[in-house]
Structure formats: C-alpha cells, structure tokens
Structure 1
Amino acid sequence: MEQLADALLERSNGNYRGWGDVVKFAACTAARIGEVSGVRVADIDTSTWTWTVRRQTTPSPGGLVDKGTKGKRARKVPIIAEVRELVLDRIAAADRDPAARLFTGPRGGRISTAVLRDATHWDEVVTKLGYEHLRRHDLRHTGLTWMADAGVPLHVLRKIAGHGSLTTTQRYLHPDRDAIAAAGTALSAHLTGSWSQTGPKLKAV
C-alpha cells in the first residue's frame, strides 16, 4: 500500500501528499472513496480511535454533493495505529475545525473516485506496478480482506462495512493461500486429537 501511495504521489508531481493519504486511509478503514471525502474532523474520535461514517460524496447533475451513506445508516469504523499519525496531521492542518473536511483535493474540493483517478493518473500507475486490474474501489475490498485474514468475525466485518447482509460481506472476502492452509492444518489437528482419544466420530448430514 505504501508503494502504491508513493507511486501515485510521484506521478501527480509530488505536490500534494493528500492523494497518498486518501489511498492509505481508504484501505486501512475499508471505506469507499466517497466516504473518505465525506469525513469531517468531528467524525473522528481520537480517544477511542474510531470514525463515525455519516456521509459520502457522490456525483450529481450539478457536480459533487454530500449525502448519507449508501446504507442510509451511520456506522463506526476503527482507525488502526498505522494511519493515526496521518489523521492527526490532517486534523491539525484543518485547525481542528469540527466542520472541516479531513480529506480534500489540493484546492480544498470534494474527492470522488474519478477525481482520484484523473489527478493521480491511477490507471497508468497501477499498470506500471503490475496491478493493472486494481480499481479505486478495490482499496475497500483490500481492507475488508485484511480484517478477515486477521480474524475479525464476519458479523463485525458486516458492521464495519455497512452491509445490509452477511452475504454481501462474504463477496468481498478471499482468504489467502496461507489462511486456507492454516485452516486445513487446524482441522487435521482437531481430528487427530479427537480420533486419538475417542476414535472417529462421523455426524450424519
């Protein structure tokens, strides 16, 4: 993620660190780019390190506007240690104004996935890095997969993602090869222990 953020920053002439911050924050919170654009200073609780997701930026006939989240409900998302310094820097840059946006474009404007793409030459950068199929929305996908691989329960992931059902959340999750191998090892250990103590027990299905 650091490599991607640095490459996007470099391609945009390195004159606005905000693009890299947006990418890292989106991935580490499993949020949509529009939701990142909608963050206000008041939405961040640095005592519990949580973000209350209340709104998102979306395109409209008159330009970019803010409206409620996709699920129409506010939700809380953890802010992990790796991006806390970044968040504190942006709060300070906003003079701690509760109504100020935490993430904006270089001129203070709203951000959308298209704005991020064009400003950073996204398609060119990800292709050069060998991730030609990586989309901006995949940052959210990546964050949810990281959380799943870290052992976050599915029902908690659903709350963090703001999904209406577990089925929707499951579509984002793709355990890596190590996680799958670990599952097999755990099952073998469980069965070996059970068999050695009581013999094999099969349940009818």
Structure 2
Amino acid sequence: MSDKIQFTKARLSALEPVPGKRVTVHDLAQQGLCVRVTPAGAKTFYCVRKVEGKVEWVRIGDAATVTIETARTTAAKIINQIASGTNPAEQKRIRKTEMTFSDLFAEWVKECKAKGKKSLGKDQDNYRLHLQGLARKKLSDIQRADIRKLHTALSGKSGKILANRVLALVRAMFNFGIKTLDIPSLSNPAAGLKMNREESRDRRLHPDEMPRFFEALAAEENPDIRDYIMLSLLTGARRSNVLAMTWAEVHLERRQWVIPGSKAKAKDNITVPLSSAAIEVLQARAEATGAQGWVFPGSGQTGHLVEPKKGWARLLDRAGIEDLRLHDLRRTLASFQIDAGVSLAVIGKGLGHHSTQTTQVYARLAQDPVADAWQKGTDAMLVAGGIKSTAEVVPLKKGGKRSA
C-alpha cells in the first residue's frame, strides 16, 4: 500500500486495515492532509505539520462523515494558522483541560466555605435550580447572549429579584475565576449586564392587623412555632439568627441577646435588647425545656428549628392576612419604633445594620437608649394588638387567653 495517493471516495473506501498496526496515508492534492486507518478499520482525517521542531497531529474528523473537500479546506486553514504563529494542536490541548462552569462553581464553593460566606446555601440552591443549563459548558463557550437570555427568562418565570440574584452569582463566579484562579484569557460574560430594577419592599404588620395576628398566634398549638414567631417580632432579628439562637447568647438579667459576629451579616457582634415581653417568652421556654443548647432545638441536621413555612402559612390563614413574610416582622418592629419617635440611628444599632456612614453614629450611642427603643416598639405593637396596656405587660397565653 502506497503511503501517498490522490484522495478520492473510492480510494479511501478501498483502504484496508492492517492487523496490529495503524496505517497513515497522505493526500497528494493537499499538503499536510492524511488519513489514519486503525486495525479495526476506522478512518480519520488529520493535518500533520512540524511546529517548533515538534510534529503535531491535528484531528479534522471521521472520514465517514467529513468529505474530502472539507478535509482539504480545513487542512489548508490549519497550515495558515501555523504559519501565522498559532498552534491548533496546542489550542485543542488547552481546551481539553479547560474548566467547565460546574468546575468553576466547585472552586467557588471551596472559596466561600473557607471565607465563611453566609449566603453560600442560597448560591448552591440557585446553581442547582437555575444554572444547570450552563453546568457542562466550557467557560469560553458561555457567551454574553447566553447570560442575557437566562436573566430574561428567569425574570419572567421566577421573578425579577431572583433573576438578579442568579445574574449576580454568575458575575461573581467569573470574576473569581479571573482574579483569584487566574484563568488565562477568561472574560466575564455577565459583566455590565443590566439588573432588573428592584422596588424596595415596605410591607409590615399594620395596626389594624395586629389584633388578628396576635389572636391567630395565640391559637397556634405548636409552642416552638408560636414562640419563634413571637420572638422574631419582639426582637426584630433576622430569621436565621432567631432560629439559631442559643441560651449561651441570652442574658436575661442584663435584658440582652448578644448575636456573635460569626452569625452576624456584618461580622460584628449585635446586642439585641430584650423587652419585657421577649423576656417572658424566653423565661417560659427556659422553664419548659431547660436553658441549655438551642433555644429552639430541632431533630434535623442543624440541630435547631428550621424555617417553619407550614406554621407561618397556618398562622396567616387563621389571621386572614395576605402577602406577609417572616422578614416583614423585622420591618414591623422598626416601623412601630419610628412611629413612636425613635431615631433611625438607635434603631439601626439594635437591628445590626452596618455601613460606613451609619456605624460612626452607632458607635457613639450607649446601649440604654437602644434598649428603651426596643421596649417602646414592642409595647406599641402589643397595645395595637389589644393584649397589653400602656402600663403593664400581659403575657400571651395559648388559646388567646391573657393573664391578669
């Protein structure tokens, strides 16, 4: 068998495999083009050239599906690329080892865990639910149009806010790949894409809703759900902090709950004042369950109560209240404090808000006015709910009954 022939369909079909040996036959019409025949009879087009003293084999494709004309045109292009200083074989080797989007996310998770990123769970959920279409793609294959299309689709299907969070995650991941992993020639396809405009949510429990809310809460048969929701309202703390509250953080004698920086969004300790009503709830729990470990223990992996979505839905249904989220309880306390004339700076200190501008103000405040603000806010809510007079606190009892 000659190692050089004029390629035709008939001649390529006539090439016979050689047992135990791979045979290479070159085309007389196109320099560098050859076909390799395996012992099993498979035939593949290659362009073979010497690049910087090394013989490189660039695969063109299966001879059963790629035409001779296409193979010759491709071989000519490869030779031109080599002449201009590009090594297609090296590019293919680089591409073969290039990260996929799922590889990048795995590295992102490692980095976030090392830094203790609190929103990592949400990132993982968004990746699992909304980014699987990108998971297997090579990073260089992900185009700006792909991300824009994804953002638009999510905006219509899942809401503008969630779409923004997913876009922000993709943008942050690519920036991480560029700046931290130093991935060569990587660009960020999400950079500069416009976020949806987000309207600030201003939902709160209004004074006319408070009696129905407290009546429904008193009727809740699960004491953990009842106390969790009550403390969320009375402290204005974030959901995750109330769920993970421990007795070691609670100081009843000082009327304080100190959330450690490791659990706080801004990494600083947050001292939450405990009003008289909040202390009564905690004292009742301590007597019933013992003041050890979690304030709201649970049987799941975390060891404490997880967000009681069913219990919350049950409460709203009993109260006939719509469009109220657990986080709105935090806003409710702040709004009642504002209504009572408490300054924004004092409120921000107790809520653990953190910014360069406001922290300077908060740092100069003593804790006493903050505690007074919490007492005023919770008193105002309980008065509006019809379960407290302005002069005394009346504890909430199951079934809607109040103690004298």
TM-score by length of 1: 0.61
Q: 2:291 aligns with which of 75, 79, 96?
A: 96
Aligned counterpart, 1:32: 238
- Checking the alignment, whether the CA contact within 8 Å between 2:216 and 2:318 is kept in structure 1 is no
C-alpha distance in 2, partners of 1:30/1:5? 16
> Displacement of 1:7 after TM fit?
2.9
> Displacement of 1:147 after TM fit?
2.0
Letter in structure 1 aligned against 2:237: A
Establish whether residue 133 from structure 1 lines up as the match of residue 323 from structure 2.
Answer: yes
- Checking the alignment, whether the CA contact within 8 Å between 1:54 and 1:73 is kept in structure 2 is yes
Give a deviation string over 1:87-115, Cα, whole Å, max 9, x none: 11222344333xx1112347894233xx3
Give a deviation string over 1:47-101, Cα, whole Å, max 9, x none: 220110127xxxxxxxxxxx5211211111111111212111222344333xx11
Distance 1:124 1:91, change over 3 A: closer
Q: 1:21 aligns with which of 227, 235, 245?
A: 227
> Displacement of 1:45 after TM fit?
1.3
- Checking the alignment, whether the CA contact within 8 Å between 1:18 and 1:105 is kept in structure 2 is no
Aligned counterpart, 1:193: none
Q: 1:47 aligns with which of 253, 260, 272?
A: 253
C-alpha distance in 2, partners of 1:10/1:48? 31
C-alpha distance in 2, partners of 1:2/1:77? 25
C-alpha distance in 2, partners of 1:22/1:69? 18
Aligned counterpart, 1:117: 309
Aligned counterpart, 2:278: 83
- Checking the alignment, whether the CA contact within 8 Å between 1:5 and 1:23 is kept in structure 2 is no
C-alpha distance in 2, partners of 1:143/1:83? 13
* Gap regions ≥5 residues in structure 1: 56-66, 168-205
- Checking the alignment, whether the CA contact within 8 Å between 2:234 and 2:278 is kept in structure 1 is yes
Letter in structure 2 aligned against 1:147: Q
CA-based RMSD: 2.8
Distance 1:125 1:82, change over 3 A: closer
- Checking the alignment, whether the CA contact within 8 Å between 2:235 and 2:278 is kept in structure 1 is no
> Displacement of 1:24 after TM fit?
0.8
- Checking the alignment, whether the CA contact within 8 Å between 1:53 and 1:77 is kept in structure 2 is yes
Aligned counterpart, 2:335: 145
- Checking the alignment, whether the CA contact within 8 Å between 1:33 and 1:111 is kept in structure 2 is no
Give a deviation string over 1:21-40, Cα, whole Å, max 9, x none: 11110111001121111211
Between 1 and 2, higher relative CO (CA 8 Å, sep ≥ 6) is seen in 1
- Checking the alignment, whether the CA contact within 8 Å between 1:54 and 1:69 is kept in structure 2 is yes
Secondary structure of 1:144's counterpart equals helix
Establish whether residue 7 from structure 1 lines up as the match of residue 7 from structure 2.
Answer: no
Secondary structure of 1:76's counterpart equals strand
> Displacement of 1:128 after TM fit?
5.0
Letter in structure 2 aligned against 1:111: L
Letter in structure 2 aligned against 1:72: K
* Gap regions ≥5 residues in structure 2: 1-209, 359-404
Structure (1 or 2) with the larger CA radius of gyration: 2
Aligned counterpart, 1:68: 263
> Displacement of 1:146 after TM fit?
1.9
TM-score by length of 2: 0.33
